[in-house]
């Protein structure tokens, strides 16, 4: 059996269980959904995908605008990256650093865009508060760590730029302070601290928004992949294994799990890439003392092939990074072991630690590394939010709010101009796994240098 690859598979499956992740093991009771879609459904808005984007869109449309909404999820709500990511809710817009924003868009537009990233994080906070979602949220902030001394000066300059140009209280933490107050180890050579960031249990968050959407009146169907799509006049007809759904408007929220051919405008525009996460057994007192891993911040490092990690409430460590090219058992097992080696390289005091959980999933890249939250160019009744570049916890939930406002004509929630540009196609899209291998090795080489 060929491994699943969203670039080539017609569907991510039907009714599959959650992956065997730490999140699934600790999520508690799973709330009910509305089961498979019945043979005939008519609705105002059909939403394809039951992750953060789709569920947030459904909630905001039903709760704030009184629309009839039907969500169609191939497997279970929260099954994709919304339930298996690292739980980092950050102020992020694609792969751009804040200095990149200024270089690409100019100071004034970068300031506006930065404000929207702050609004995205506020949306997460609001949803947690409105829905009383118990998702183990902590609001400690984000540390971007220099893994080598040579990378520290760039982080120091980034902090100064954010203070000067964005009037935001970022700060640079020197190596001695970082190792004393946050985390020790061999790769803690200073850090950029961004005070605003949440650590969350991503599956609990996803399931919380599911409860909110259904309580607001939205219908959420599991085991209902969209296998066909046609237009009859002004009505969209979406085919599911059980029948069809007729809707006046459609939202696509499938991101890294978007099947090829789902909608022509998105053909050859999305590049799914594996991300892999391990979770260790709980640290002992001696391991905590030896590594000084005491920080509650979410952590990333200043690499091309970025690692991301954090301490969990039960003293475990979550550690993740870009996965390999193909989703095969032996490659995943090798990469799991490689992630553990990288973690121990950072913190030699953890040399005896073991892995209790590991899993992986597909994140979604676009050609220009920018997300898209927009109305389709060829049909104003089709909307999509995709391409979060692996940093979509905050932005995808905010995208749902923006897409709902777009459908309802609510001018108080204007679209993000930088996310509304036409999405570019990849040349030779079906062959991208070949240059991906080359770039993977090239980035590893660059990361190995000073």
Per-residue pLDDT of the chain (450 residues; tens, 9 = 90+): 678 999 999 999 999 999 999 999 999 999 999 999 999 999 999 999 999 999 999 999 999 999 999 999 999 999 999 999 999 999 999 888 888 888 899 999 999 999 999 999 999 999 999 999 999 999 989 999 999 999 999 999 999 999 999 999 999 999 999 999 999 999 999 999 999 999 999 999 999 999 999 999 999 999 999 999 999 999 999 999 999 999 999 999 999 999 999 999 999 999 999 999 999 999 999 999 999 999 999 999 998 889 999 999 999 999 999 877 777 777 788 889 999 999 999 999 999 999 999 999 999 999 999 999 999 999 999 999 999 999 999 999 999 999 999 999 998 899 999 999 999 999 999 999 988 888 888 888 888 776
Question: Could you tell me the domains of the chain?
Answer: 7-137+197-268+367-424 (3.50.50.60), 142-195+272-365 (3.30.9.10)
Residues 258, 265: Cα–Cα separation, whole Å? 12
Sign of CA dihedral 87, 92, 96, 98: negative
The number of C-alpha atoms within 13 Å of 68 and in the hemisphere containing its C-beta is: 8
Non-local CB neighbours of 179 within 8 Å, separated by 6+ positions: 185, 188, 292
pTM of the model: 0.96
Exposure string for 36-67, b = 16+ CB within 10 A, e = fewer: bbeeebebbbbbbbbbbbbbbbbbbbbbebeb
Task: Give pLDDT, residue 1.
Answer: 64
Give the helix/strand (H/E) hosting 42. Answer: strand 40-48
Residues 294, 315: Cα–Cα separation, whole Å? 9
Non-local CB neighbours of 330 within 8 Å, separated by 6+ positions: none
Task: Give pLDDT, residue 94.
Answer: 86
Do residues 430 and 261 make contact, with C-beta atoms less than 8 angstroms apart?
A: no
């Amino acid at each position: 059996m060929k491994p699943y690859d969203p670039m080539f598979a017609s569907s991510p499956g039907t009714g599959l269980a959650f992956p065997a992740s730490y999140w699934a093991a600790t999520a508690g009771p799973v709330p009910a959904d509305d089961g498979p879609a019945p043979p005939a459904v008519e609705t105002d808005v059909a939403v394809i995908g039951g992750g953060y984007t789709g569920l947030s869109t459904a909630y905001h449309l039903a709760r704030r605008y009184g629309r009839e909404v039907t969500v169609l999820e191939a497997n279970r709500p929260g099954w994709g990256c919304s339930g298996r990511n690292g739980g980092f809710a950050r102020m992020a817009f694609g792969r751009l650093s804040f200095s990149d924003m200024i270089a690409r868009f100019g100071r004034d537009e970068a300031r506006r865009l930065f404000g929207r990233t702050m609004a995205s994080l506020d949306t997460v906070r609001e949803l947690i508060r409105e829905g009383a979602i118990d998702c183990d949220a902590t609001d400690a902030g984000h540390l971007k760590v220099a893994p080598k001394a040579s990378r520290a000066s760039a982080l120091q300059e980034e902090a100064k730029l954010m203070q000067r140009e964005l009037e935001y209280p970022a700060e640079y933490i020197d190596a001695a302070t970082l190792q004393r107050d946050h985390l020790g180890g061999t790769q803690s050579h200073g850090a950029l601290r961004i005070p605003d960031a949440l650590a969350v249990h991503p599956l609990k968050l996803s399931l919380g928004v599911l409860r909110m959407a259904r309580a607001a009146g939205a219908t959420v169907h599991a085991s209902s992949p969209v296998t066909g799509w046609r237009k009859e006049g002004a009505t969209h007809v979406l085919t599911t294994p059980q029948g069809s759904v007729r809707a006046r408007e459609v939202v696509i929220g499938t991101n890294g799990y978007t099947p090829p051919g789902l909608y022509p405008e998105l053909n050859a525009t999305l590049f799914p890439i594996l991300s892999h996460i391990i979770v260790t057994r709980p640290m002992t007192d001696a391991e905590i003392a030896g590594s000084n891993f005491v920080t509650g911040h979410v952590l990333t490092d200043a690499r091309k092939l970025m690692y991301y990690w954090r301490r969990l409430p039960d003293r475990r460590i979550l550690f993740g990074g870009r996965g390999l090219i193909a989703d095969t058992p032996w490659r995943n097992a090798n990469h799991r072991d490689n992630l553990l080696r990288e973690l121990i390289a950072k913190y030699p005091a953890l040399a005896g630690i073991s892995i209790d959980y590991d899993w992986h999933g597909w994140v979604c890249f676009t050609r220009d590394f920018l997300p898209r939250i927009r109305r389709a160019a060829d049909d104003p009744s089709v909307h999509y939010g995709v391409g979060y570049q692996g940093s979509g916890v905050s932005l995808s939930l905010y995208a749902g709010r923006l897409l709902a406002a777009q459908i309802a004509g609510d001018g108080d929630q204007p679209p993000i101009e930088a996310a509304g540009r036409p999405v570019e196609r990849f040349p030779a899209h079906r062959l991208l796994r070949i240059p991906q291998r080359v770039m993977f090795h090239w980035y590893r080489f660059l990361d190995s240098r000073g």
